[in-house]
């Protein structure tokens, strides 16, 4: 079995629950973890390539914020045809960045990408045509989210886009409860045990803080984006494209 297809057993054994972190143990099984935990993850990744292909501008930068192992960067780089595009992938987990570097080096020509191990709040951004926050904003403390989106907006060139994918919360409690039940069944169907599901849920409780889709649209507007459009939804996982005019 290749390193990329290792089975996620991070929460398989009973353990003292601490806040979830992107450790080496998580990075080692990450492709399996996201595939079995985020409905539609593979579809979102491949469509990021399609959207980047449409909106990338020649001689601009494409940012992948919270890049993990670089799946979004690779999908975009395989589709974009515009010349002079640089891919800037950022993550603050050393374990992720170490593994991501090997992958990007294997698949992309030298000089086409920069990989930065840092907090996305600290990375200067400019001349961007596409910025991706693929399931990352949900891990940023809520009181820092607007400032980050404002920085994304400032960094984008006119006609640039931000792609924001998130686990969302539903305002209606009945909808929220139905979707939660369906999502739990999705995890069971993907082979996670009740113990794995409940231990991971507790570990994520203070770390992954979801907003409603409406709150995302509102915040994007507040950050300056003229228009935002939800283009993907699978249970409570949604992806939005926000446009800078
Ligand atoms: C993918 N986008 O495969 N600064 C930098 N990185 C951060 C920060 C931060 N403040 N907060 C979290 N991260 C990826 C999947 S995973 C989503 C993204 C998930 C990083 C964190 O280290 C992790 O690698 C990533 O954001 C979130 O398309 O695991 O549900």
Q: Which tens digits make up the pLDDT trace of 3-19? A: 456 999 999 999 999 99
Q: Provide mean pLDDT across the span 18-26.
A: 96
CATH number reported for the structural domain that contains residue 111 in this entry: 3.40.50.150
pLDDT of residue 46: 98
Asked whether residue 65 is domain-assigned, the answer is yes
Asked whether residue 1 is domain-assigned, the answer is no
Asked whether residue 92 is domain-assigned, the answer is yes
Q: Provide mean pLDDT across the span 93-97.
A: 98
What separation in Å is there between the alpha carbon of 7 and the centre of ligand 1? 19
What average pLDDT is seen over the chain?
A: 96
Sign of torsion over alpha carbons 222, 234, 46, 92:
positive
pLDDT band for 102, please (50, 70, 90 cuts): very high
pLDDT of residue 217: 98
Ligand 1, atom 4: nearest CA belongs to which residue? 119
d(CA 199, CA 79): 38
pLDDT, tens digit, 9 for 90 and up, residues 151-196 = 999 999 999 999 999 999 999 999 999 999 999 999 999 999 999 9
- Residue 234's contacts (CB-CB under 8 Å, 6 or more residues apart) are 39, 40, 43
Q: Tokens for 37?
A: 């935990």
Question: Does the CB atom of residue 22 touch ligand 1 within 6 A?
Answer: yes
Q: What percent of the chain has pLDDT over 90?
A: 98
For a mutational test of ligand 1's pocket, the pick from 52, 64, 68, 137, i.e. the residue with the most ligand atoms closer than 8 A to its C-beta, is 68
pLDDT band for 1, please (50, 70, 90 cuts): very low
Return the H-helix or E-strand segment holding 115. strand 113-117
What separation in Å is there between the alpha carbon of 65 and the centre of ligand 1? 7
Residue 111 has pLDDT above 70, yes or no: yes
Question: Does the CB atom of residue 135 touch ligand 1 within 6 A?
Answer: yes
Q: Tally the domains of the chain.
A: 1
Asked whether residue 60 is domain-assigned, the answer is yes
Question: Does the CB atom of residue 221 touch ligand 1 within 6 A?
Answer: no
pLDDT, tens digit, 9 for 90 and up, residues 46-67 = 999 999 999 999 999 999 999 9
Asked whether residue 73 is domain-assigned, the answer is yes
pLDDT band for 2, please (50, 70, 90 cuts): very low
Asked whether residue 30 is domain-assigned, the answer is no
Q: Provide mean pLDDT across the span 28-41.
A: 97
State pTM to two decimals: 0.97
Question: Does the CB atom of residue 10 touch ligand 1 within 6 A?
Answer: no
Q: For residue 106, what are the domain limits?
A: 41-169+208-243
d(CA 20, CA 111): 34
d(CA 71, CA 90): 12
Atom of ligand 1 nearest to the CA of 64: 2
pLDDT of residue 187: 98
Ligand 1, atom 13: nearest CA belongs to which residue? 66
pLDDT of residue 204: 96
pLDDT, tens digit, 9 for 90 and up, residues 119-139 = 999 999 999 999 999 999 999
For a mutational test of ligand 1's pocket, the pick from 35, 139, 164, 208, i.e. the residue with the most ligand atoms closer than 8 A to its C-beta, is 139
Asked whether residue 174 is domain-assigned, the answer is no
Residue 238 has pLDDT above 60, yes or no: yes
Asked whether residue 125 is domain-assigned, the answer is yes
């Amino acid at each position: 079995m290749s390193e990329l297809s290792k089975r996620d057993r991070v929460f398989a054994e009973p353990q003292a629950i601490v806040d979830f972190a992107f450790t080496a143990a998580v990075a080692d099984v990450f492709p399996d973890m996201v595939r079995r935990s985020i409905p539609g993850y593979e579809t979102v990744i491949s469509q990021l390539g399609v959207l980047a292909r449409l909106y990338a501008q020649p001689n601009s930068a494409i940012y992948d914020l919270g890049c993990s192992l670089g799946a979004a960067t690779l999908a975009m780089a395989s589709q974009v045809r515009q010349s002079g595009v640089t891919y800037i992938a950022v993550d603050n987990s050393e374990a992720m960045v170490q593994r991501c570097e090997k992958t990007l080096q294997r698949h992309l020509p030298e000089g086409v990408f920069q990989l930065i191990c840092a907090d996305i709040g600290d990375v200067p951004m400019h001349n961007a045509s596409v910025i991706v926050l693929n399931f990352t904003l949900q891990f940023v403390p809520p009181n820092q989210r607007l400032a980050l989106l404002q920085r994304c907006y400032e960094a984008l060139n006119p006609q640039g886009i931000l792609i924001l994918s998130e686990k969302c919360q539903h305002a209606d409690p009945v909808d929220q409860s139905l979707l939660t039940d369906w999502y739990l069944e999705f995890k069971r169907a993907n082979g996670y045990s009740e113990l794995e599901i409940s231990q991971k849920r507790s570990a994520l409780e203070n770390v992954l803080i979801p907003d409603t889709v409406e709150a995302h649209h509102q915040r994007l507007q507040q950050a300056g984006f003229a228009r935002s459009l939800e283009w993907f939804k699978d249970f409570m996982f949604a992806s939005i494209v926000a446009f800078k005019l």
